[in-house]
Amino acid sequence: MTPELHRRAEARLRKQRKDQKLKAGDVKSEVDSRRLLHELQVHQIELEMQNVELQESRDRMEVLLAKYADLYDFAPVGYLSLDEQGRIIEVNLTGAALLGMERSRLINRRLPPFVVSANRPDFLAFLEKVFAGAEKQVCKVTVQREDGTSFWANFHGAAPVSAGGPRKWCRVVVSDITALKESEEARRRLEDLAKVNRELREEIVRRQEVEKSLKKSEQHQSRLLEQARCMQEELRHLSREVLRAQEEERKRISRELHDKIAQTLVGINVHLEALIRGVADKPGNLRQKIARTQRLVQKSMDVVHLFARELRPPVLDDLGLIPALHGLLREFTKRTGVRASLTAFAAIERVDIDKRTILFRVAHEALNNVARHAQASRVEVCIEKLPAGVSMKITDNGKSFDVESVMRSNHGRHLGLIGMRERLEMIDGIFNIESAPGKGTTIQAQIPLPK
C-alpha cells in the first residue's frame, strides 16, 4: 500500500466520521475500539480504491492487448512459435494465410512438411542452429501450400526461450519473397541476355567479316558456275548436233544404199536373167550356177533393204509416221513372235518431220528393249493428242525393272534409254518410264506442239 493511498483513505474516513457526527451526535467509545475500527475502515477504503485502480489498469491492458493482437495478427509478415520438433505452437493470421490453412488447423502441426523435399534438409539445419543458441539465422526455401501452390519463403529465427518448463520454443518470422526471387531471376536473365547480346554483337561483327569474304567467294563461284553452265549448254548443244548429224548421216546412207547399191544389184539380177535366156541350149550345170548367183543377189538385196530400214526407213519420209510404225511392228512381230498393235490419230502426220522422226526412234528403241529384255507376249503402241502436244505410249506385259537404278547406271547397255531421253529433251519433250511387277513396262514420250 502506497503512502499516498493511505493518506487519501484516512482523509475519506475523517470526512465520513464528520458526517456521521453531524447526523447521530458525538458517540464516545473505547480508545482501542476506535483505533481498530479506524484501521479497518482505512483498509477497506484502501481496498476499494485499489480495486478501482486495478479495474482501470485492466481496461488499459485489454485495450493495449487488443492493439497488440491486431498488430500481431495483421503484421505484414508471419509470426510462428515453434518447438524443437518444428511443431507450430502459435501463428498469426498472416502466417496462416501464407501457409494456406486456418490457424486452428496449424496448431501442433509440424512446419517442415510444408517445405518442399529439395529444401527440407536446409530448413531442418536452420532449426537446429536456432535451438543451438546461435545468432540470428536466415533460411530461404520453397514452401508448398495444402492446395499445391508454392512460394519462396524467407525465414528469420531468434534464439529459443523456455516457457517455465523443459519445453523450448523459438519465434520464427516468415515472409513471401517470391516477387523478390522473380525480380532476381529476371535480373539474372537480363544479365544473361546482356551477355548474349554482347556475344551476338561480336558474332555479328565476325559474321560480317565472313560474309564479306563469302561474297567474294560467291562471286568467284558464280563466275565458275556460269562458266560451267555455259560449258554444259555447249555440251548439250553438241550432243543435239551429234544426234542431228547422226540422223542426217543415217538418212544419207539409207539413200545411198537404196539408190545406188540396190540399183546395182537389180542390174546384176537383170543381166543374170538375160544370161539364163541366152544359154538355154547350154548344159544344166551353168543354169544352176546362175540360179544360185541370182539367189545370193536377191538375198543381198533383202539385207540391203533391211539395213536401209534400220538406218532410216524411206517410208517415214515418203509416206509418214503411221505407215513407218506399221512396217516396224510387222517386222518386230515377224522377228520375235510378239503380238504388236498400233493406235494413232491421222493428224500426227501434220507434225514436222523432225518430231515424227524422234517418235519413230523412241518406238524403235523401245521395241528393241522389249525384244532383248522384257520376255513379253504383247506390245501396244498408242499415239494420242494432248491439249498442248502429242503423247506416245509403248506398253508391254513383260518383266519389270527398277527404273531409278537403271537410269543412274553408267553401263553402256542402258544408253538406249538415255538416248531416248536426250532426243525428247532436244525438243523440250518429256520422257517417262513406269515399270511394276505384274504390270509390265510403259514408256511415255510427250512432245510439245506450237499453239
Using CA atoms, how far apart are residues 311 and 337, in angstroms rounded to an integer? 22
- How many Cα atoms occupy the beta-carbon half-sphere of 282 within 13 Å? 11
Using CA atoms, how far apart are residues 293 and 331, in angstroms rounded to an integer? 26
Q: pLDDT digit string (tens) for 423-442?
A: 888 888 999 999 888 888 99
Q: For residue 2, what pLDDT band results from cuts at 50, 70 and 90? A: low
Q: What pLDDT score does 261 carry?
A: 66
**Secondary-structure class of domain 78-176 per CATH:** alpha beta
CA distance readout (Å), 345 to 34, 164, 322, 382, 448? 159, 120, 9, 9, 16
3-class SS at 52? helix
Q: Does domain 316-448 have CATH number 3.40.50.720?
A: no
Q: Residue 160 pLDDT > 80, yes or no?
A: no
Q: pLDDT digit string (tens) for 335-373?
A: 899 999 999 998 998 988 888 888 998 998 899 888 888
Q: Closest Cα partner for 354 from 450, 418, 432?
A: 450
Mean pLDDT (whole number) for 54-82: 71
